[in-house]
Chain A
Amino acid sequence: MTSAAASSLLGKPLPCLDAAEDIRFDAPWEAKVFSIIVKLSQQGCFTWAEWVDCFSKEVAAADAVEAAGGQPKTYYEQWLAAAETLLVAKGMTSPEQLLAKRFAIGSVGPAHLIAS
């Protein structure tokens, strides 16, 4: 995924789903993290500008990795990383909670994780 695609999305105001725009998800979790962010923003948990600011930093970091010849995060991996950063910053989750969820998923797999 190129950063050009990212910036085209960044410029859009909410709901950022443009019929003309080709949004493609390669896995269900990508659609999930995308819709969670849109929904939380619509609910007023953060402004779209705050999201754009947070996401831009991830995009820039990925670009830097790519420029250095490394393997950057995919587009939705960047989206997920930014989502975690923003939700922690907003006090909606914590690094410990994220650790606990990862721990459980790593132990039993995502299909067996009970929401709590």
Chain B
Amino acid sequence: MSVLQDAKVPVTILTGFLGAGKTTLLNRILHERHGERIAVIENEFGEIGIDNELLVHDGSEQIVEMNNGCICCTVRGDLVRILGQLRERRARDPEAFSRVIIETTGLADPAPVAQTFFIDEDIAAAYRLDAVVTVVDARHAAQQLDESHEAQEQVGFADRILLSKLDLVDTAEQRRLRERLARMNPRAPVREVHFGAAPIGELLDIGGFSLDAILEIEPGFLGEDAHEHDDSVQSFVFRSGAPFDADRLQAFLRETIASHARDLMRYKGVVAFAGVDHRIVFQGVHMVMSADAGRPWAEGELRESKLVFIGRGLPQREFREALERSLLQESPAAPVQ
């Protein structure tokens, strides 16, 4: 499988608040990676640039529901079309480009963009979604998060958060913002960018949807002043040293995903099952999920399962109780708020 995967073109979704500096950052990437041909799909997906050269003007936003009747399986029809055209172009000329960056507007919902890479089979065969990177304007973040539904979604969906304009806020405000972001999305590392300068390694080839990636929970998640904001996007982390019963955990996920599919934006688990010597890893976006066997547990290693759910208005207490019941033995989970 890995050989096939490597042949796929990596795709980064670059999103962020209005005025946060996405375009500055994008220009920086294109400048620094001048040896690499990057296809850029911008804004309303109407414009395709390769190495900043504008090629196509076309189209308005199209949200398409797939005919399997699942509300979560919405994809972007305009994106499917453009990625299809790009693929044909690359079939004729393999040197045309080796990477795609999609820059969405500050108002676009990332879910249908991300799901396009999983739901549409032709797109999934040609492209590999690497990560959703969200640029957050530190100066205006608090207000934007308070007022903007889309800003909340973009933080919740992110595999990595880039903080811009940090020099315009004092350290106390920085700390509050970092803690707030970590509570909303504890699995996305937060990095700083200055005037569009960011180590490219922090942006590309992150493996945000990869099952091999280690599930890191941001330490800021344990911050104290937790109840300052009533964010619509929140996260829930569950850890346990007791193994899961595979059938029970599966039943929990089946029920949870079915009843909260719209609100469950991202989730990931690295879990220990009774009698299984490998980690079992799963990750999902709304209703689409992938899973694989991870690394084997080492001899004598604490087999700690970690699960993180990010979404809108998730019933945390219900989740926790149901997950506790899915464990093989009764054993209190480490309390994590």
Interface residues of A (CB under 8 A from B): 94, 96-97, 99-101, 103-104, 106-108, 111-116
Contacts and interface: CB of A to CB of B under 8 A. Distances in A.
Given A103-B246, A104-B291, A111 B253 contact: no
A99 B271 CA distance: 12
Nearest to A96: B293
A108 B278 contact: no
Contacts of B127: none
B18 interface: no
A99 B118 contact: no
Interface residues of B, number: 28
A99 B290 contact: no
Contact of B293 (A100, A106, A112, A114): A100
Contacts of A103: 246, 249-250, 280, 282, 291
B273 interface: yes
Contact of B257 (A100, A107, A116): A107
Given A107-B257, A108-B284, A116-B1, A100 B68 contact: no
A20 to B, nearest CB: 34
Contacts of A114: 118, 124, 288-290
A112 B246 CA distance: 19
Interface string B229-270: 000000000000000001001100110010000000000000
Contacts of A96: 276-278, 280, 293
B204 interface: no
Interface of B: 1, 68, 70, 73, 118, 124, 211, 246, 249-250, 253-254, 257, 273, 276-278, 280-282, 284, 287-293
A108 B284 CA distance: 10
A106 B282 contact: no
Q: Is the interface of B mostly helix, strand, loop or mixed?
A: mixed
A103 B273 CA distance: 11
B68 A111 contact: yes
A100 B278 CA distance: 10
7 contacts: A100-B282, A103-B249, A103-B250, A104-B291, A108-B287, A108-B289, A113-B291
Contacts of A100: 280-282, 291-293
Contact of B289 (A94, A97, A99, A112): A112
Given A103-B246, A103-B282, A107-B254, A115 B290 contact: yes
Nearest to B277: A96
A112 to B, nearest CB: 5
A116 B290 contact: yes
Given A106-B250, A108-B284, A113-B291, 8 more contacts: A96-B276, A99-B246, A100-B282, A104-B289, A104-B291, A108-B289, A112-B70, A114-B290
Contact of A99 (B68, B254, B284, B293): B293
A107 B249 CA distance: 9
Contacts of B292: 97, 100-101, 116
A107 B282 contact: yes
A101 B280 contact: no
B290 A113 contact: yes
Contacts of A115: 1, 124, 290
B201 to A, nearest CB: 23
Contact of B253 (A94, A97, A107): A107
Nearest to A111: B68
